[in-house]
């Protein structure tokens, strides 16, 4: 757009811009007011120059830089005229720059935050740095793999953002689980090698199952058959696989090399607490067996007390959790998606230019194109009939811009540009459907055998949303079935696997409710710095589902694996549930705080779509780490009883035939009292503590 109060200044700047644009090698065509009088408005004070770039429109952002330079040069040479540049290539370039800047900000913000949180959790700088290092290296390695993925599917800005987002989150999460358990085993009295072996046998298994579940969930995106989701699926699956492999190979090797140096850089005021187990390192446990007689310490803390209360009245607490999750999920029923939102803040230069063009030429650049083919279109009177087709389209849409007609060189294809009014995405979809139903079938009046198809940005957005709507049920079914199979293979309990699937769906639904409440309304615009158009970006809900469904299994599987250990040691289902929630409380809390912090850094970035995915994932993780892990999961396991986490057959047989323990001698009692808290009790099993006795009641 070229505009000036002086028509002569507008004409001079327009002519200069056309000359420069035609000299650019990547420009295929240039049209201005001299070619189409409707491109001049307001008595010649506003002029529109349409530039078509060569090559695939999806790659326009890579070829628009010379044109941007030409516009800047003309603006500098004609200070009495103002130039505004917009279009697909311009926005692709602008969004790419914003995303690149956002990723740098996200890394600069999230990594120090994660390091500080882990430093407070571990109380030692070296121990805190190890998970951050694994998360960062996972992302770096995944970016190398994105080069290969780009040969199969287009890798756009959303894919790179998701790789950073998910790579940092799971990389830190998995290594945090591993480091915390290894330190716990060391404080239980194990040597370096024995502690690593025990950690590999417990947390290592949990990491593998969790990582596989996340990758299975992400692979569901491949079902859509859409290139953008294919690249997202491959990129995120790659970074999760790298994080899992790193947790099972590089991380144990690093811990073996560090040895006791893992505790270097200790916080002075936390030194004594750490020696006794520290923040959450309260209990040692054998690989596959909890320590008898230590249930009170293992299940201590606020989460442990809540878990014991939950398992005493599981039906009541499960109902409370389900009602809370359901109240959040109800808002998700109003979820409305669209693909027409740009996502940039209104203060961005490209948005200012877009609004200027829309005011001067309504319906531009947004609009619909009728592509007419199937007959010779260069015959006498055909041009008038093509324009009449466009006028019928404008009457159907109510657009106020000009109808533009272009004919191909061979005379067999015509593009009829139909303006659309400024409206919301839902109304835009109805207008596209009206063009397809009422206007396109009349193309036969242009020439015998002629047919018309509706395309353009608006139509592409509608088709994208429709295809996504059709494939979403298939993706959800695929993820649920494969996740159910993985849970069955891991825990061999259909009721437990089905219950976990239900809890995950409730958790994701609650996160969707937060997404709708924040972004489909305007109350949070000032807080988060975005402009709501009443909808959510179409790609966000499906991506949030597969990511959250996978991530929610992280904490669930960690707790269930701990329950399996407790059951193997002879605990009742209720005692195992309460004990395991308390034993994993600080690990999961620390991991959740880190993950929420990483996701929330994306919620404060400029691009609206990144805000949506970041806030949704943060809300989902927070909900899963509190309501699901702290209340719903232990209540479910307690209700299922022996149908949930089953004790090994040998354990049940030993529990039935084990003789009553002999009373300890006075010498043994003195030795036990003098032993450090982190040493194993190698003596006879202690009588059941209160949580263990629940089953007998």
Q: Are 172 and 598 in contact (CB under 8 A)?
A: yes
Let me know if domain 91-283+293-341+462-650 sits in CATH 3.55.30.10.
no
**Pairwise CA distance, residues 351 & 280, whole Å:** 49
Q: pLDDT class for 671, splitting at 50, 70, 90? A: very low
pTM: 0.77
Span of 16-30, 309-323, 327-341, 617-631 with lowest mean pLDDT? 327-341
Q: What mean pLDDT, rounded, does the chain reach?
A: 81
**Residue 186 in this model has a pLDDT that exceeds 50:** yes
Please report, for the chain, the start and end positions of each structural domain, with discontinuous segments joined by +: 2-85, 91-283+293-341+462-650
pLDDT at position 399 over 80: no
How far apart CA 262 and CA 635 sit, in angstroms, is 36
Instruction: Report the candidate in 267, 61, 237, 47 with the shortest Cα–Cα distance to residue 157.
Output: 61
Q: Among 25, 365, 369, 42, which residue's Cα sits nearest to residue 33?
A: 42
Q: Is the dihedral of CA 264, 269, 271, 276 positive or negative?
A: negative
- Residue 215 pLDDT > 60: yes
Binned at pLDDT 50, 70 and 90, residue 515 comes out as very high
Q: Which of 234-243, 258-267, 422-431, 668-677 has the highest mean pLDDT?
A: 234-243
Q: Distances in Å between the alpha carbon of 464 and those of 66, 228, 458?
A: 30, 11, 10
Instruction: State pLDDT tens for residues 341-355.
Output: 556 667 778 788 888
Question: What CA–CA distance (Å, rounded) separates 178 from 174?
Answer: 6
Please count the CA atoms within 13 angstroms of the CA of 250 that sit on its side-chain side. 16
Residue 167 to residue 146: CA distance in whole angstroms: 13
Q: Looking at the predicted structure, is the pLDDT value of residue 510 above 70?
A: yes
The pLDDT assigned to 124 comes to: 85
pLDDT for position 648: 62
Average pLDDT over residues 7-18: 93
State the pLDDT at residue 58. Answer: 67
Residue 596 pLDDT class (50, 70, 90 cuts): very high
Please, which pLDDT band fits residue 268 given cuts at 50, 70 and 90? low
Q: Model confidence at 291, in pLDDT bands (50, 70, 90)? A: very low
Determine which of 221-230, 341-350, 370-379, 539-548 has the lowest per-residue pLDDT on average: 341-350
Residue 691: C-alpha distances to residues 298, 583, 642 (Å): 11, 13, 16
Q: Is residue 518 pLDDT above 90, yes or no?
A: yes
User: In whole angstroms, what is the distance from residue 247 CA to residue 270 CA?
Assistant: 27
Mean pLDDT of 121-142: 88
At residue 31, the 3 state secondary structure works out as: strand
Least confident of 108-122, 514-528, 668-682: 668-682
Question: In this predicted structure, which of 284-293, 357-366, 430-439, 531-540 has the lowest mean pLDDT?
Answer: 284-293
- What pLDDT was estimated at residue 270? 55
pLDDT at residue 343, rounded to an integer: 62
- Least trusted range by pLDDT, from 221-225, 282-286, 469-473, 620-624: 282-286
Q: What is the mean pLDDT of residues 493-519?
A: 93
If phi over 0 gives left and psi between -120 and 50 gives alpha, with beta otherwise, what is residue 24? beta
- Rounded CA separation 53/243 (Å): 41
Q: How far is CA 469 from the centre of its chain?
A: 18
Q: Give residue-wise pLDDT tens across range 83-118.
A: 999 887 887 778 777 777 777 777 778 888 888 888
CA-to-CA distance for 683 and 292, rounded, in angstroms?
A: 10
For residue range 50-74, list pLDDT tens digits in order: 888 887 766 777 778 899 999 999 9
């Amino acid at each position: 757009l070229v505009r000036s109060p002086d028509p002569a200044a507008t004409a001079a700047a327009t002519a200069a811009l056309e000359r420069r644009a035609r000299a650019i090698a990547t420009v295929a065509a240039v049209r201005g007011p001299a070619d189409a009088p409707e491109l001049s408005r307001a008595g010649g004070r506003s002029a529109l120059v349409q530039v078509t770039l060569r090559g695939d429109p999806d790659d326009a952002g890579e070829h628009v830089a010379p044109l941007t330079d030409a516009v800047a040069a003309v603006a500098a040479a004609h200070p009495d005229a103002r130039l505004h540049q917009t279009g697909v290539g311009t926005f692709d370039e602008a969004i790419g720059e914003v995303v690149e800047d956002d990723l740098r900000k996200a890394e600069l913000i999230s990594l120090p935050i994660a390091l500080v949180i882990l430093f407070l959790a571990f109380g030692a700088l070296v121990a805190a740095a190890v998970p951050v290092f694994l998360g960062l290296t996972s992302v770096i390695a995944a970016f190398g793999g994105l080069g290969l993925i780009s040969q199969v599917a287009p890798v756009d800005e959303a894919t790179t953002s998701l790789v950073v987002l998910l790579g940092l989150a799971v990389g830190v999460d998995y290594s945090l689980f591993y480091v915390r358990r290894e330190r716990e085993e060391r404080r239980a009295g194990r040597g370096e090698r024995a502690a690593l072996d025990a950690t590999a046998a417990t947390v290592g298994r949990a990491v593998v199952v969790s990582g596989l579940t996340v990758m299975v969930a992400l692979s569901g995106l491949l079902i859509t058959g859409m290139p953008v989701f294919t690249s997202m699926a491959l990129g995120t699956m790659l970074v999760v696989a790298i994080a899992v492999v790193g947790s099972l190979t590089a991380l144990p090797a690093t811990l073996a090399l560090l040895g006791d140096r893992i505790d270097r850089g200790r916080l002075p005021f936390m030194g004594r607490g750490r020696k006794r187990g520290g923040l959450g390192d309260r209990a040692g446990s054998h690989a596959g067996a909890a320590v008898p007689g230590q249930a009170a310490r293992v299940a201590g803390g606020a989460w442990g007390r809540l878990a014991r209360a939950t398992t005493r009245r599981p039906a009541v607490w499960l109902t409370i959790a389900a009602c809370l999750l359901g109240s959040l999920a109800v808002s998700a029923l109003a979820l409305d998606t669209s693909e027409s939102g740009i996502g940039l803040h209104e203060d961005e230069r490209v948005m200012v230019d877009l609004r200027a063009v829309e005011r001067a030429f309504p319906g531009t650049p947004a609009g619909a194109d009728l592509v007419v083919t199937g007959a010779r279109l260069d015959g006498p009177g055909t041009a008038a009939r093509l324009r009449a087709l466009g006028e019928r389209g404008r009457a159907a849409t109510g657009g106020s811009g000009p109808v533009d007609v272009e004919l191909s060189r061979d005379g067999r294809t015509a593009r009829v540009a139909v303006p659309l009014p400024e409206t919301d995405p839902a109304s835009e979809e109805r207008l596209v459907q009206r063009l397809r139903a009422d206007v396109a079938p009349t193309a036969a009046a242009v020439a015998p055998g002629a047919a018309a198809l509706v395309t353009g940005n608006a139509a592409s957005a509608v088709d994208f949303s429709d295809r996504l709507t059709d494939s979403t049920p298939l993706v959800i079914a695929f993820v649920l079935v494969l996740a159910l199979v993985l849970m069955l293979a891991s825990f061999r309990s259909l009721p437990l696997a089905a219950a976990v699937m239900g809890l995950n769906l409730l958790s994701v639904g609650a996160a969707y409710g937060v997404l709708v409440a924040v972004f489909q309304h305007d109350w949070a615009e000032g807080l988060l710095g975005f402009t709501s158009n009443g909808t959510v970006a179409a790609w966000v809900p499906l991506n949030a589902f597969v990511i959250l469904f996978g991530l929610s299994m992280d904490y669930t599987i960690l707790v269930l694996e701990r329950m399996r250990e407790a059951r193997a040691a002879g605990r009742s289902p209720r005692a195992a549930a309460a004990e395991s929630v308390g034993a994993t409380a600080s690990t999961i809390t620390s991991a959740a705080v880190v993950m929420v912090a990483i996701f929330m850094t994306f919620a404060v970035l400029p691009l609206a779509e990144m805000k949506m995915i970041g806030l949704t994932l943060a809300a989902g993780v927070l909900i899963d780490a509190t309501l699901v892990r702290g209340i719903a999961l232990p209540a479910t396991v307690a209700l299922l009883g022996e149908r949930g986490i089953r004790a090994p057959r040998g354990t049940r047989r030993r529990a039935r035939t084990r003789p009553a323990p002999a009373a300890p001698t006075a010498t043994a009692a003195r030795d036990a009292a003098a032993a450090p808290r982190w040493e194993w009790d190698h003596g006879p099993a202690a009588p059941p503590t209160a949580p263990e006795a629940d089953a007998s009641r």
